[in-house]
Amino acid sequence: MALGTMPTRPALLVRIRDVDGCLGWGEVWANFPPRANLHKAHIIEDVVAPQLRGARFVEPREIGDFLCNQLSVYFLHVGQLEVFSHILAGIDTALWDLALRKAGRSFAEFMELSETSAQSYATSINADDLERLIPHHASLGQTHFKLKIGFAEHGNREIVERAARLCPVGSRILVDSNQSWTLATARDELRNLEDLSPFFAEEPLPANASLADWEELASSTDIPLAGGENIYGIENFCAMANVGLRILQPDVAKWGGVTGALDLARAMPQGACLWPHFMGTAVGQVAALSITAVLAGTSSCEVDVNENALRTDLCGDIITVRNGRVDLPSDPGLVVPPVPDLLAAFADGRDSGPMAEALQSGIS
């Protein structure tokens, strides 16, 4: 992993129950650090859940606005505004799931989608797995393949050249350096890749690099720039798009949830497109795919190629790629709830609490 070793696959699910017993499920980003799921679960139990009890809403955004009004200063004071954004994102997804299940409608029905599947692309392909994974995922109909680059032990151009040779005609390579380059390095590295025509370069700079640096980099390369998993707020996404970020990648488990992604799709400047970022369980994956389905031919959603039982097993066999696409759930709700026995099997046994079985999930 670009951020270091990932000894486990931590995850955090939030379950919301209404007064009639109807349930909604969402996911809060918790990939790093290793026990981030426990930290955020405690915050939800101790700080956020008490505010939710008895709350009423018509649209999920109303609860997000309410929680922001009640708790933004608190999270500013404790220095965890981004953690609060992660929690709000998971709650928003859970409320969408709850509201749709209560209404007896699937997301596709509610949004009146003519196409009930989402385009997907293969992501997080490591250098050692190119020869195995690119042909396999091409056989599933995927046409875009995202590579992790920027590691000292591998030559970036060598990786992209190897991958390009493996791609069927019409397929494209995408590259992701996970915020690891300076402006000077990014400019040199992308110039060295231009003749290989990557579809985009993701996070070639830190997300908090100045707008001037992003604009300079965008003007120095023919490779479209992408990013968004570490951007918070529609105004910041739009500011980045206005200086050259062409592919916006909000993460439904990190900022905005479903509401935020749909709002961003309406607000983003002309010339930008939205390709949801995601790396987690089947709960958040389905929510991210749902955003792509709404955007139809202008979007594709990443699906991790690496083994992760929280994506492939936890909610049953629902993330299946056929002809490059993944079907959305047809039953009422946004997502497919976790299989109870598997949820219990994956639950983190190192901690407990009144909501632990619903809030904590990981593979130890």
* pLDDT tens per residue across span 245-297: 999 999 999 999 999 999 999 999 999 999 999 999 999 999 999 999 999 99
Q: How far apart are CA 294 and CA 257, in angstroms?
A: 14
Across residues 207-213, what is the average pLDDT?
A: 98
Q: How far apart are CA 354 and CA 41, in angstroms?
A: 11
Across residues 314-328, what is the average pLDDT?
A: 98
Q: Output the pLDDT for position 348.
A: 77
Q: Output the pLDDT for position 87.
A: 98
Which helix (DSSP H) or strand (DSSP E) does residue 172 occupy?
strand 172-176
Please check the confidence at residue 52 and state whether its pLDDT lies above 60: yes
Q: Output the pLDDT for position 359.
A: 39
From the CB of residue 306, how many other CB atoms can be counted at a distance below 10 Å? Answer: 15
Q: Output the pLDDT for position 364.
A: 22
Per-residue pLDDT band for 3 (boundaries 50, 70, 90) equals low
Per-residue pLDDT band for 117 (boundaries 50, 70, 90) equals very high
Please check the confidence at residue 357 and state whether its pLDDT lies above 80: no
- CATH code for the part of the protein at 12-104+339-359: 3.30.390.10
Please check the confidence at residue 153 and state whether its pLDDT lies above 80: no
Q: Output the pLDDT for position 4.
A: 61
The domain at 108-327 falls in which architecture? Alpha-Beta Barrel (3.20)
The tens digit of pLDDT for each residue in 222-239 reads 999 999 999 999 999 999
Q: What are the sequence ranges of the domains in the chain?
A: 12-104+339-359, 108-327
Mean pLDDT of the chain: 94
Q: Output the pLDDT for position 340.
A: 97
Q: Output the pLDDT for position 5.
A: 66
Q: How far apart are CA 90 and CA 232, in angstroms?
A: 14
Across residues 74-90, what is the average pLDDT?
A: 98
Q: How far apart are CA 317 and CA 311, in angstroms?
A: 9
Q: Output the pLDDT for position 140.
A: 98
Per-residue pLDDT band for 170 (boundaries 50, 70, 90) equals very high
Please name the residues in contact with 49: beta carbons below 8 A apart, sequence gap of 6 or more.
355
Which residue shows structure tokens 């439904």? 252
Q: How far apart are CA 308 and CA 67, in angstroms?
A: 32
From the CB of residue 76, how many other CB atoms can be counted at a distance below 10 Å? Answer: 11
Q: Are 127 and 152 in contact (CB under 8 A)?
A: no
In 3-state terms the chain splits into helix, strand, coil percentages (rounded to 5) of: 45, 15, 40
Across residues 143-149, what is the average pLDDT?
A: 97
